């Protein structure tokens, strides 16, 4: 970031991979697991609890991969709020910030409650509470609120632990948790009879369905890795280290949780002193104390066990509480700074330089939740909010990869895209639904918070939000006076060719009885401020005026001039926004580079536009097409190619030849396909004929044949994106080498178009 | 009737004389499969991050092409 004197200034990058991994681990092993184990063993059974942590780890890993991909491409502080703004715009980013704020607050309340529970439990083991004579429940609430209040004050003072001290702290926590796991495994080896504690594997009352409920309830134990995204400005080599740290931390924490759950179950010898009935029921009956009660039995003396567990939980919960308060206050501060919430939220204390208003409101939520809600409801509420938040992130990763994949420099790409984020979306939706079995209150509070957020955005934030540089902006727009049933957009990328393009599209517009939208996208380099973007508009405005001279007297016409950072994305965005049915644009026929087939602008448009796309090459001027060749291989693109060919071919003496190249063994029935299209389009038999040539080289056969025609109309490939990228496909190879005027078409429809309409 | 290997495997793991029920078998299989899948994803991700870092961060299109070549 350059300051006014032109001196470069930025945060020093001194957080290593180890430190940021520890940062994520420290947040995750933030005490949620300590109260979660006992409750999940009681709900899902001993094996069910292990399954809960394993499957949650897998779902969390899918989400961590989404975070990793996004952080590697956009390594800036801001996390989900930032990703949502880039992917979906201001409304969704407000919602992300709003959810993140509440999720962090509720997680903070949970950590305060866990601190209180385990501290008082330790004091009770010393007999101090009986001596004082306090009611334990009221005392727990009071201690939770006191510790939350203390850390709110610490945050107001501006104290925060540095990366190195934080890493050491987390290392200590990890060592403790891992030693519990190791003790449990050793105990099971020494006394294999304790494996019988896993019988029955699942809770007989409810079985597998209970598993989904506990998975949703315990999901909060996997919250925390997302804070790594916040370290984007301070991490060494962030494009490499941020994704690694996120993925490693989720993997390590999953293995740790599974091992600790195993240790908790085998820690208790059936029938030993102080236990009764089945071990898993005994652990489950203790609920949030289950983990502590069981693990205390792993150590030689009960007192030592209680003390070690209390110390570990106190360290974990306090460091996590401090971090979540910081994170919650920062989320609400960012909303205030961008005027999505009243500006007071961004007010900074004069002396301490901390956002005191944001902290105050954060404190109100944390103290209310910690003071009023039962522990199980607090945990469920935190889980449901994080499920909502992670749901948004998985949507963001899909949308950003599809829309901006060619513009961003990625340091990591997840494998098997889009399967991991889609699976995560499905699982998170299921888990959120099943939380209702653990806490109905969570299902009231969570959605209510989201609905309130939507209301605040619509009534307050939308009109006050500060716009940002990388959004697509409309400079001028004139609406069509009477829109027809069909909407055609003509994208005038090069104003010099505007007239040629419009003269050719004239026929298409006439045949479809369409209203026409002329759009000129103006690419403005990142370095140029918005205030200077107007100077790039002049040529586009001239092109549009010239085109309008021809089209305006005949068709309802609308015009648009838009600023964007990337033409392809800008055009696709306009097509979606205006619900366009057909997009027409020109192609210079320039040589393709390694990774693009037709060019860096046209390829993304063909891949992502949710409407029919028609690309014209050398079709300008007042050309007439009497002999038109249409290579066909079935499918919607072939059908659209024949339709477009029929429109562009001279009406009286024009001839269309549908060409198939037989390479042997093909099952395509060209005659039936042509007959079907002839009937559909009402083409007379003498106007459309079928020709079959036999050749092993399909591309060469089409090119040789095309030389004898006035126009070649090609359907684009319908192969999956990955295969298109890896291997250039036949239509694109033909288009690149074709010397006659060319029209390439891609039909809309099907799942892909539906996905692109929304993503 | 459960396969004999089924019970033998679990006797090795410490289960005593009784047979294993279907929930236990399915649960253990799911845990093992999930952990194997997680390990594979982590290792693949590490490989991909290192490979991308060596060639310099670039667009998704170029990375997919490069990773496909490197597989």
Nearest CA in chain B to A191: B14
Where is average pLDDT lowest: A9-13, A58-62, A95-99, A655-659? A9-13
What's the rounded Cα separation, in Å, for the pair A369 and A377? 9
pTM: 0.75
Residue A13 near chain B (CB below 8 Å):
no
High-pLDDT (> 90) share of chain A, %: 23
* Other Cβ atoms closer than 10 A to A687: 18
Of B41, B52, B67, the CB nearest to A61: B41
Phi and psi, residue A147, nearest 5°:
-70, -35
What pLDDT is recorded for position A70?
Answer: 92
Token pair in block for residue A398: 């899909």
Predicted pLDDT at A717:
64
Give the model's pLDDT for residue A262.
Answer: 95
Mean pLDDT of A550-574: 75
Q: Residue-wise over A36-61: b if at least 16 C-beta within 10 A, else e?
A: bbbbbbbbbbbbbbbbbbbbbbbbbb
Cα separation, A98 vs A456, whole angstroms: 10
Distance CA(A703)–CA(A342), nearest Å, equals 64
A534 vs A268, which has greater pLDDT?
A268
Question: How confident is the model at residue A217, as a pLDDT?
Answer: 87
Closest chain B CA to residue A409: B58
Contacts of residue A405 in chain B, CB cutoff 8 Å? Answer: 59-61
| Percent of all residues in chain A with a pLDDT value above 70, rounded to a whole number | 82
Closest-CA residue of A relative to B68 is: A726
Band of residue A10 on the pLDDT scale cut at 50, 70, 90: very low
Contact at CB, A410 and B38, closer than 8 angstroms: no
For residue A128, pLDDT over 70 is answered with: yes
Question: How large is the average pLDDT for residues A504-520?
Answer: 80
Per residue in A616-656, pLDDT (tens digit) is 888 776 678 889 999 988 788 888 899 999 988 888 888 99
Q: What is the pLDDT of residue A726?
A: 44
Which of A139-153, A168-182, A298-312, A388-402 has the least mean pLDDT?
A298-312
Q: Are A66 and A396 in contact (CB under 8 A)?
A: yes
Beta carbons within 8 Å of A639's beta carbon, 6+ residues apart: A677, A680, A747
Phi–psi pair at A690, nearest 5 degrees: -110, 135
* pLDDT of res. A366: 94
DSSP notation for A676-732: HHHHHHT--TTTEEEEEEE-S-HHHHHHHHHTTSSEEEEEPP-S-HHHHHHS--HHH
Tell me the ipTM for this assembly.
0.82
Per-residue pLDDT band for A56 (boundaries 50, 70, 90) equals very high
Given its phi and psi angles, is residue A513 left (phi above 0), alpha (psi -120 to 50 degrees) or beta?
Answer: left
Mean pLDDT across the stretch A736-751? 81
Q: Which structure tokens are listed for A37?
A: 């184990």
The average pLDDT across A510-523 equals 80
The tokens for A568 are 């392809």
Q: Which residues, in sequence order, are CB contacts of A100 under 8 Å at separation 6+?
A: A79, A80, A81, A327, A328, A331, A389
Is residue A611's pLDDT more than 70?
A: yes
**Averaged pLDDT of chain A:** 81
What pLDDT is attached to residue A483? 53
Query: B residues 17-36 near A, CB within 8 Å?
Result: 21, 23-24, 27-28, 30-31, 34-35
**A751 HSE (CA, 13 A, CB side):** 1
Which tokens go with A130? Answer: 């009986």
In chain B, the largest separation of any two C-alpha atoms, in whole Å, equals 59
Q: Do B52 and A413 touch (CB under 8 A)?
A: yes
Q: Judge: B37–A188 Cβ closer than 8 Å, yes or no.
A: no
Most trustworthy range by pLDDT among A10-14, A573-577, A593-597? A573-577
pLDDT range class, residue A162, cuts 50, 70, 90? very low
Choice among A103-117, A451-465, A468-482 with the minimum mean pLDDT: A468-482
**DSSP track, A94-121:** HHHHHHHHHHHHHHHHHHHHHHHHHHHH
Distance (Å, rounded) from C-alpha A103 to C-alpha A118?
23
**How far apart, in whole angstroms, are the C-alpha atoms of residue A161 and residue A335?**
25
As a whole number of angstroms, the distance between CA A97 and CA A340 comes to: 10
pLDDT of residue B18 exceeding 80:
no
Q: What is the pLDDT of residues A222-240, one digit of tens each?
A: 988 888 877 766 778 888 9
């Amino acid at each position: 970031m350059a300051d006014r004197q032109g001196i470069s200034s930025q945060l020093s990058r001194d957080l290593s991979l180890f430190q940021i991994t520890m940062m994520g681990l420290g947040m995750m092993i933030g005490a949620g697991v300590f109260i979660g184990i006992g409750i999940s063993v009681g709900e899902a059974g001993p094996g069910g609890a292990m399954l809960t942590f394993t499957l949650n780890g897998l779902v969390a890993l899918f989400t961590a991969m989404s975070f990793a991909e996004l952080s590697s491409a956009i390594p800036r502080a801001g996390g989900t709020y930032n990703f949502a703004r880039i992917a979906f715009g201001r409304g969704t980013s407000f919602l992300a910030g709003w959810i993140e704020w509440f999720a962090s607050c509720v997680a903070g309340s949970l950590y305060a409650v866990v601190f209180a529970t385990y501290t008082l439990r330790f004091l009770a083991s010393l007999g101090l509470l009986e001596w004082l004579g306090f009611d334990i429940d009221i005392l727990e609430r009071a201690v939770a609120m006191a510790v939350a209040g203390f850390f709110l004050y610490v945050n107001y003072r501006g104290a925060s632990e540095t990366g190195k001290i934080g890493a050491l702290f987390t290392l200590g926590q990890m060592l403790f948790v891992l030693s519990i796991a190791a003790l449990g495994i050793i105990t099971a080896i020494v006394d294999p009879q304790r494996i019988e504690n896993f019988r029955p594997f699942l809770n007989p009352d409810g079985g597998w369905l209970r598993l989904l409920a506990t998975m949703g309830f315990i999901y909060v134990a996997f919250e925390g890795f997302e804070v790594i995204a916040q370290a984007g400005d301070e991490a060494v080599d962030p494009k490499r280290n941020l994704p690694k740290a996120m993925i490693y931390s989720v993997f390590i924490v999953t293995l740790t949780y599974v091992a600790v759950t195993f240790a908790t179950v085998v820690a208790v010898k059936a029938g030993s002193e102080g236990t009764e009935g089945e071990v898993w029921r005994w652990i489950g009956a203790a609920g949030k104390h289950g983990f502590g009660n069981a693990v205390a039995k792993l150590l030689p003396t009960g007192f030592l066990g209680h003390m070690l567990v209390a110390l570990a939980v106190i360290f974990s919960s306090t460091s996590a509480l401090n971090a979540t308060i910081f994170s919650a206050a920062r989320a609400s501060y960012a909303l205030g700074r961008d005027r999505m919430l009243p500006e007071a939220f961004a007010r900074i204390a004069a002396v301490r330089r901390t956002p005191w208003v944001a902290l105050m409101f954060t404190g109100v939520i944390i103290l209310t939740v910690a003071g009023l809600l039962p522990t199980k409801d607090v945990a469920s509420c935190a889980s449901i909010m994080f499920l909502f938040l992670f749901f948004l992130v998985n949507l963001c990763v899909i949308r950003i990869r599809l829309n901006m994949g060619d513009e961003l420099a990625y340091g990591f790409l997840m494998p098997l895209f889009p399967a991991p984020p889609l699976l995560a979306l499905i699982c998170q939706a299921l888990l959120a639904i099943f939380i209702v079995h653990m806490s109905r209150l969570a299902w009231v509070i969570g959605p209510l918070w989201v609905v309130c957020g939507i209301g605040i955005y619509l009534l307050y934030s939308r009109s006050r939000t500060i716009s940002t540089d990388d959004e697509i902006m409309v400079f001028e727009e004139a609406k069509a006076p009477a829109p027809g049933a069909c909407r055609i957009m003509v994208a005038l990328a090069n104003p010099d060719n505007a007239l040629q393009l419009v003269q050719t599209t004239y026929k298409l517009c006439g045949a479809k009885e369409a209203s026409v939208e002329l759009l000129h996208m103006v690419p403005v380099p990142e370095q140029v401020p918005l205030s200077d973007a107007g100077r790039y508009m002049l040529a586009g405005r001239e092109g549009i005026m010239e085109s309008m001279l021809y089209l305006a007297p005949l068709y309802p016409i609308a015009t648009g001039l838009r600023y964007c950072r990337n033409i392809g994305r800008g055009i696709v965005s306009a097509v979606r926004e205006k619900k366009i049915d057909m997009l027409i644009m020109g192609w210079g026929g320039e040589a393709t580079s390694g990774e693009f087939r037709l060019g860096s602008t046209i390829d993304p448009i063909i891949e992502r536009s949710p409407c029919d796309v028609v690309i014209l090459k050398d079709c300008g001027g007042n050309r007439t097409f009497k002999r038109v060749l249409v290579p066909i291989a079935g499918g919607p693109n072939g059908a659209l190619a024949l339709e477009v060919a029929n429109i562009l071919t001279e009406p009286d003496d024009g001839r269309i030849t549908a060409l198939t190249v037989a390479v042997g063994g093909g099952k395509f029935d060209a005659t039936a396909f042509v007959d079907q299209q002839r009937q559909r389009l009402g083409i007379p038999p003498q106007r459309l004929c079928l020709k079959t040539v036999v050749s092993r080289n399909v591309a060469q056969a089409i090119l040789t044949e095309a030389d004898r025609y006035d126009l070649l109309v090609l359907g684009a490939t319908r192969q999956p994106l990955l295969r298109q990228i890896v291997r250039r496909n036949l239509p694109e190879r033909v288009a690149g080498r074709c010397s006659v005027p060319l029209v390439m078409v891609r039909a809309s429809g099907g799942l892909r178009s539906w996905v692109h309409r929304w993503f | 009737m459960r396969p004999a290997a089924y019970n033998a495997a679990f006797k090795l793991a410490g289960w005593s004389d009784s047979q294993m029920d279907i929930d236990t078998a399915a649960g253990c299989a799911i845990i093992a499969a999930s952990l194997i899948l997680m390990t594979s994803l982590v290792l693949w991700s590490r490989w991909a991050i290192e490979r991308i870092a060596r060639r310099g961060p670039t667009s998704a299109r170029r990375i997919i092409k490069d990773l496909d070549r490197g597989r």
